[in-house]
Structure 1
Amino acid sequence: MRSRLLTSLILGLAVFLGLWLTVTPDDVAARWVQLALGAIALAGVMVSSRLPVLAVVVTAAATACAWLLGVSADPFVLTGFAVFRLAETRGGRRFPWWMFAGAFLVVVTSAIFGAEGAEGRFRGMLLSAVVLSVAWVLGVRTREVRDEAAARSRADERLRLARDVHDVLSHSLGAIGVQAGVAAHLTTLGTEDLREVLRGIEGDARSSLSELKCLLQRERTDTEAENVASSPLSAALESVALTAERAGVSVRLDSDEAIDVLPVDVRTTVLRVVKEAVTNVVRHAAGSSALVTLRASSESVTVGIEDDGQGAPSKFQPGHGLTGMRERVELLGGTVDFASSTSGFMVSATLPLVKPLGGDKG
């Protein structure tokens, strides 16, 4: 609000000095009238952010009186500032009829009874109409752009939150569902085996709750980057593999040592990609094993996840998980590809490295 007041004051003073004070009245009394009317117009400009309708009325009346007395050359520029604020806050696409009628009446009256000649009055009339029309159009367009930006921001935030919730919960809940389903359908499980399954479910549930808590905390503070930075990526990947193995899928990790010194945002994306791919293996692939390969060079990181399942249908449509995976990778300027065959499904992603390896030890 302070910046708007300062902007209005600076612009108002510039117009007053350039289009009001440059007009020399005939006597001292007219000069005082000029200063008084200019002060009123400036006051109208100053309240335009809070009271735009009043600002339009005040600035238009003061400028019209100044025109009638021949103490201003302002073609309603100060009124245009107020019109801009009005259009920015509550204006529609069309110029309001009441403002059009009022502006037309003020401009015509000022032009007819003004101190200038006929040619000067006509020129001032035309210029004033242009100033007010342009001010209204710019104000409406500014409001539309601001509303569009806010709508895009809300949509992006909803998409990000949906992607994060899916990434946090899908892996653990998918593993829990598989473990519970296996335990429910196997009648040969002994007491100790059943307890082991329940302990695995408990561990996955606690892990999901912990990650969900971190996600909610991150909405208030940037804790995700701190959590990722404080734990090695290799350890997090081993946890993903352990969860999958509890659900009956053997996961083998083949990675470089350099993955633990990747930038935080790259590590986070790699972890999310592997989690989502392994979750899909557990839930959809009907396979028994998966191979996770990670290779890091000075320029990029490549991630590959391949399973021995049944593959996807020939014309499958990526769901929320694969779509979110692609979006995460593309946010960092990377690419991701999906391939399916009768021998399994494969995910391959490439992430560029902006920072050199070892630059972010995290």
Structure 2
Amino acid sequence: MPTTRSTSADDESAALVARRARDLRSDRVGLLRASGIVATGYAVGAALQTTYIYSRVVEDWQSVSVWSRLGANFAAVVGLVAVLAVVNAHRATRIWHMAVSLLFAATACAVLRIGAQQLLGVYEDPTREVVEAELFSGLVIGVISGAIGMWGLVARRRLRAQIRGAEREAVLVENAVRALEQEEIRVRREVAEGLHGTLQNKLVLVEARLDQIAAHAEQGPLDPGDLDDLHWIRGELEQARAADVREMSRLLYPDRLELGLVPAVRALLGRLPASIATRLDVTDAVRAYDDPAHPRLTVPERLLAVRVVEEGVTNSLKHGPATSITASVDVQDGVLVVAVENDGALYDEGTAGVASGTARMRQRLTFVGGSVALEPGAGRGARLVARIPLGTGGHKASPVRP
């Protein structure tokens, strides 16, 4: 089992790394493509506009080469895209990081544009004012083009996060539905086993005693032994009604759950033998959430919390013997924290959490975004701690209900 879990964790880690690499490649291509397309548009427009203006004001307008200007501007576009790629601008996640990368690439774009103009003979002997104007215009073009590319990068990331969030929500819904089906099957099985086992056996014995009494009645008056049998039958039926039927009904719906979480947990602890000391610690935050006049805990949230206490009590009785059980309920930052601690057998890390009930509870809490942990108690015993998110809405606010 540990090997299987390790392999699964390695596979998940490898999948995350691969997805991260694909995201980075997609961001890189998107940023460079958007910046390059916008910068190219500016480059073509600026070259054509400048050529036209010079042709109108310069007598020897044939000396103004549109191709040289286009070549210089395209060199600036290539420089902008190359610098954005070299500085890994697509990895930037903070505003200052994006701004620094963008300013560096735009500066390189402007400088490269001036150098290409000199190399291609756009200006024979430019004045200082011309150089400053060309540098400024190149810087502006680079900043605008890169900013549009960065905006597209941020939009792409947000859209990707929304899509994956929706995918995760869909998976959680699917898992919750599957867990609901499994929980329903489990409860049905336990009820069926209870009906087929204990209750049916008692009814069979009761039927046999009634047949015996009926046979005696046919032969003559009932004797004191038959009266004892009738009293025994009445006791068995009373026990079946009070214990077996009620216990099976609790599998479907805990006592006093409709009154609130605290009454339901008190009713659960009240069923324990008198030899086991029980205590329930409830904070004011829980009382505010569980106020009967204005309840903020949903019935599914109460039910899941009660199931956690049931699991903690079951572990205490099964792996004890425990002489005291303490249940505590608190609300911390919108999370319901339920803990059950006992003073039974010493905590064994090797077997902790192996029980099917605890594993099943961990699965249910994972489906609703919660968690459960089994840890050592104070000195002896064990402590089961569960965290249940509150008010998350949708399927997360509706954990599995048998």
Please report the TM-score for the alignment, with normalisation by the length of structure 2: 0.38
Please report the TM-score for the alignment, with normalisation by the length of structure 1: 0.41
Q: Which has the larger radius of gyration?
A: 2
